[in-house]
Amino acid sequence: MRKLAAILAASACLANGAAKAEDRAIVSLVFENDFFGGTDQGYTNGLKVAWLSPDGRGRALARLFLRADADDAVRFGVAAGQSIFTPQDTGVAAPLPGQHPYAGWLYLEATSIVERATPGGRSGPIDIFKLFGGVVGPASLAEEAQRTAHRLVNDDDVLGWDSQLRNEPGFMASFDRIWRPLDPGSGFGVDLLPHAGVTAGNVITEARGGATIRIGTRLPSNYGQTRIAPATPGAGFHSAHGFSWQIHAGAEARGVARKIFLDGNSFRDSLSVDKKNFVGEFQAGFAVQTGRFQLAYTHVFRSREFKNQNDRLDFGSLTLSAAF
């Protein structure tokens, strides 16, 4: 009996050590571009570098913003990013009313994540709270970034940046909840991730809801990849060992009250377009993980965002993340 007890105790220690070993900080690089959709207009490029802590960090903030309990898993993250927007005719220097205004958004992002504890150890809902602060306009360095990129690939210069939105501080806060009503098991399985959320601020104010279905292996180890807002939410963490894969598809509907990149500056005259208040989005992609590294790609099809927009917006989102 004593030998059996010792074996069980040792097994428990090893299992606990393995669980702690796989729960590491995650560093992610997200690159989004409409090149993947064969266009060069509207939301044309996004770049974000993000760090997310292992479980247990940022508990005071999680209690403050998300009312986390002692049994909940909590994580804290920070990120920096830049998004670039252009009209369809980038070879024209004159302002282009009726086309997407030139705009840039340079920002810092702070994230608090709470994975709710539930009886029986099943995956509970996960809550994600984000605060954004940054600048829209020439200070975002979007013009310099795009022109540098075009020179590096020997592409045509972009001529109309003199008409971009003016400098304006940007702030917004967002909250998203993701549910997992289906238990996919620890091996191969299928899960469903419905979500709902809201964002408020002078950059974007919107409400959203949708769902993502995933097929693959080791699905309980994550709640989807991190993306660049506005986007279907993902927690952005994953286990740190083994091989896994998944394919996913989802849809989201948004009610948009304000989007500065379309509505123009808040307190200064600038170009603007007649924004649509309801936008739909469909996405599909895959993720592959080996050891500490994960590569994910999502292709996004977004409906027209303003009345004179010629085509829907197609772009790709590529995420490389590593656990340290």
Kindly list the structural domains of the chain, giving each domain's residue range(s) and its CATH number in brackets, ordered by start: 25-323 (2.40.128.140)
Q: For 215-238, what is the mean pLDDT? A: 93
Amino acid, single-letter form, for residue 192: L
Burial degree of 84 (CB within 10 A; 0-12, 13-18, 19+): buried
Q: Can you say whether residue 290 is alpha, beta or left, with left for phi > 0 and alpha for psi between -120 and 50 degrees?
A: beta
The torsion angles phi and psi of 119, rounded to 5 degrees, stand at -60, 140
Confirm if 301 and 281 have CB atoms less than 8 A apart: yes
pLDDT of residue 36: 82
Single out the residue of 241, 324, 283 nearest to residue 28, CA to CA: 324
DSSP state at residue 266: S
Q: For 162-172, what is the mean pLDDT? A: 97
Bridge partner residues of 113 (DSSP): 75, 128
Q: For 104-110, what is the mean pLDDT? A: 98
pLDDT of residue 121: 64
What is the rounded distance in angstroms from the CA atom of residue 64 to the CA atom of residue 78?
17
Percent of the chain with pLDDT over 70: 91
pLDDT of 271 above 70: yes
The two tokens of residue 154 are: 């020997």
Residue 11 pLDDT level (bands cut at 50, 70, 90): very low
The two tokens of residue 103 are: 């705009």
pLDDT of residue 5: 40
Which residue spans within 241-304 are E strands per DSSP? Answer: 243-259, 278-290, 293-302
Q: For 248-261, what is the mean pLDDT? A: 98
Q: What share of the chain is helix, strand, coil (3-state, %, to 5)?
A: 20, 45, 35
What is the rounded distance in angstroms from the CA atom of residue 167 to the CA atom of residue 146?
18
Percent of the chain with pLDDT over 90: 78
What is the rounded distance in angstroms from the CA atom of residue 142 to the CA atom of residue 47?
11
Confirm if 233 and 128 have CB atoms less than 8 A apart: yes
pLDDT of residue 22: 59
Q: For 267-276, what is the mean pLDDT? A: 96
Sign of the CA dihedral running 50, 31, 135, 204: negative
Single out the residue of 275, 314, 257, 311 nearest to residue 101, CA to CA: 275
What is the rounded distance in angstroms from the CA atom of residue 148 to the CA atom of residue 180?
43
Single out the residue of 146, 141, 201 nearest to residue 167, CA to CA: 141
What is the tens place of the pLDDT at every residue in 183-201? Answer: 888 789 999 999 999 999 9
Confirm if 78 and 111 have CB atoms less than 8 A apart: yes
What is the tens place of the pLDDT at every residue in 39-52? Answer: 667 999 999 999 99
What is the chain's mean pLDDT, rounded? 90
Single out the residue of 33, 39, 36 nearest to residue 90, CA to CA: 39
Element (H, E) at 196: strand 188-201
Residues 6+ apart with CB under 8 A from 96: 87, 89, 160, 163, 271
Q: Is 17 helix (H, G, I), strand (E, B) or coil?
A: helix
Q: Among 9-13, 122-126, 245-249, which stretch is predicted with the lowest mean pLDDT?
A: 9-13
pLDDT of 292 above 90: yes
Q: For 237-250, what is the mean pLDDT? A: 91
